[in-house]
Each structure stands twice: as C-alpha cells, then as structure tokens.
Chains A and B, each alone.
Chain A
Amino acid sequence: MSRSLEDALRRSGPRNEADELAPGFIDRAERGRLVDVAYSTVDSPLGPLVVAATAKGLVCVHYGDDSDVLEELATKISPRVLHVPGRLDTVRRELDEYFDGKRKRFAFKIDWRLMGPFQQKVLKATKAIPFGKVATYRDVATKAGAPRGSRAAGNALGANPMPIVVPCHRVIRTGGGLGGYTGGLHRKEFLLQLEGAEMSRRR
C-alpha cells in the first residue's frame, strides 16, 4: 500500500513541461538584461542553422542543430546562453531574404569577439567581398596585412564562426579551384551558385 502511495506521488501532482514554463521566465530574464547569448534555429536550404547574438550583435552562425555550439558559446562568452528567438528576428528575416535571392548584404550588427586579431582582419576583408564576386586566399591575406599568409588566411577562414554572413564561401584558390569549406564543399557551391558568382576557371 505504501508503495502505491509513493507511486501516486511520483505520477500525479502539478506538472508543467519546461517549454510551457520558459516564456514567462525568458521575458523576465530579457527585461533584466540577464541573457548574455541569445540563440535560435533558422531553417535554410542548407539545413538548420543555429544563430546566436550578444548585446553587440550576431556572434555565431553554425551549420546543423547540435548542442556542441552552445557549449562552445557558454565556455567562450558566458554560460548565460538562452533560447530567445525574438532576439534573432532580424537575422532570420535577412537570411530568409538572402536565400530567396532578395538580399545582397546583411544590415544587422556583428560581434567579432570570437575571432583572434589576425582572424578578425582576414574575416573583415572577407566581409568586404561583394555578393556575386570572389577573391583568392592571397587577396584576403594581403588585405589582412600578410601577403604571404595565404595558408594562415585559409585557416582563419576555416574557423569562421559565422559562415554565410561573413562570406568565406567567396574565397577561392588562385587557379580558380574552390578550395575548402568547413560546412562541406556542396554548401560552398550552393552559395556561389545562389549568388551567380562568376569564376573564370573552375577546377
């Protein structure tokens, strides 16, 4: 009999799931400015993307919907990482427009903090490559102040914390070869095709 009482306690009683309880709490956390990293998931033709922002702007775009990226953000920025889709509305809208072919540059702010000084130079040079154009690894290395640093520039691009938005897909080999892409070469090809990039000699 006592067994069934304990069981009844376990099984009955007040119960709300976390996703029902979250909205009220998130509202309060937002009003108190206690969310250091807000994230959301965006659907794209390249699969789901995790996007994350700090108070300064977009800080990360990640291919896939796994939680590893959240742990990385928690470690590198702050563990106050919360799912606040509203904070990413502008980012989501602009990404949708981009994938619909209706947007050529992103207007939202960017937080560059996940990048080291050299990587920041490389990725800022990359951000300046216009929609539909390509540049070589040597070009961006030169713009970053390291004309001989093609390989280092390649590494910096390979560790780009916000692909698509910082268009590392627009950086190709000097001979016209695609080079590499962390998200997979099929994604690089897709993005270049989407933009109608003209490439003199491809592979």
Chain B
Amino acid sequence: MARRSIDVVPPFQEFFDEHATGVHRFLASSLPPHDAEDCFQETFISALRAYPKLRDGSNLRSWVFTIAARKVVDSHRQRGKHGAASDAVPEGAVPPPEVGEPELWESVRALPPQQRAAIVLRYVNDLRYREIAAVLGCSEAAARQSAKAGLDRLKEVWR
C-alpha cells in the first residue's frame, strides 16, 4: 500500500501513540500529578474533537503541544482562582510518573512558566525552536532566550 501523503491525518490512535508520552512528560513537569493527568486527558479530548476538521497533518506535533501549553495556562489560572488543589492522585489514575533526578525536577518546576516550558519542550520533547515559538506564541529568538535563561538557572543547582 502506498504511504499516505503527509498532509492527511493518521488514525487518531497512531497520533496518540506517537505523542502521548511526550505530551504527558511536558504536562507532568509543569503541573502537580493530578492536574497533569487532567490536562493530559483534556489535551487529547480537545485534539480528538478538532481532529476530523484538520486538513494538514504535517505539523501535528506542534499542534498538540500548543493545545497542551494552553491547558497548562488554564490550569494555573484555575489554581489561582480556587487556591491550591490537592496534589493527591485520585484512585484509579495513572501511577505517579517516574522521576530519576528529583532535585533537578524540583528546580524545573520552580522555573518561571515560560522558561520551564521552553526547557522541557527543547530538552525533554526535542522540539526545534521554531516549533517552540509556535507552541508558546512567541518569536523564535524569545524561545531560544527562554530556554537559555532556564538552562542557566538549572546549572546553578545541577552538579
């Protein structure tokens, strides 16, 4: 069978399998476990709703991270409004993610949102600066600058 052309969207399951882990890593490094779980589901539900109308399947990675980044902003706004939500993981939820370098990730979570997002998208999700700029709605130079600033801060604590 001929390989489908790049501008046709793949079956959603394929899209999910390809991006679920990366999107979840992005969310879990920005939010407490319960909120990350919730945002993860909302990200993919939003994507699923919009999916049939997508005509261009060539940039699905930037697209799904853009949705996820928006959910993070919404989630922080919600928390601000309703006070800190419980960090407890609800019953039946995905077990708490594995963290190999707890102190490093503590520092990542403490970064300003834009720097944290840029760091995670660049080094964890391996996005290019052009994609990061699209996801965060800033210029490529600003994305590069945020990642550098974030990295410099982390270097202070990283041994």
Chain A contact residues, CB within 8 Å of chain B: 1-2, 5-6, 8-18, 20-22, 24-25, 28-29, 32, 34, 36-37, 39, 67-68, 70-71, 73-75, 78-83
Chain B contact residues, CB within 8 Å of chain A: 1, 4, 8-14, 16-17, 20-21, 24-25, 28-29, 36-37, 40-41, 44-45, 48-49, 51-52, 54, 93-95, 97-101, 104-105, 108, 119-120, 123-124, 126, 151, 154-155, 158
Set B11, B24, B105, B120: member contacting A81, Cβ < 8 A:
B11
Contact indicator A81/B13 (Cβ below 8 Å): yes
Contact indicator A1/B21 (Cβ below 8 Å): no
A17 to B13, CA, bound (A): 14
Contact indicator A1/B155 (Cβ below 8 Å): yes
Set A11, A25, A73: member contacting B41, Cβ < 8 A:
A25
Which residues of A have CB within 8 Å of B8? Answer: 75
Contact indicator B45/A24 (Cβ below 8 Å): no
Contact indicator A71/B4 (Cβ below 8 Å): yes
Contact indicator B45/A28 (Cβ below 8 Å): yes
A56 to B124, CA, bound (A): 42
**3 shortest interchain CB distances as A-B pairs:** A12-B100, A14-B97, A14-B28
Which residues of B have CB within 8 Å of A12? Answer: 99-101, 104-105
A-B contact pairs, 20 of them (CB 8 A): A5-B104, A5-B151, A5-B155, A5-B158, A9-B119, A12-B101, A13-B105, A14-B25, A15-B21, A15-B25, A17-B20, A18-B17, A24-B40, A24-B41, A70-B14, A74-B9, A74-B12, A79-B10, A80-B48, A82-B12
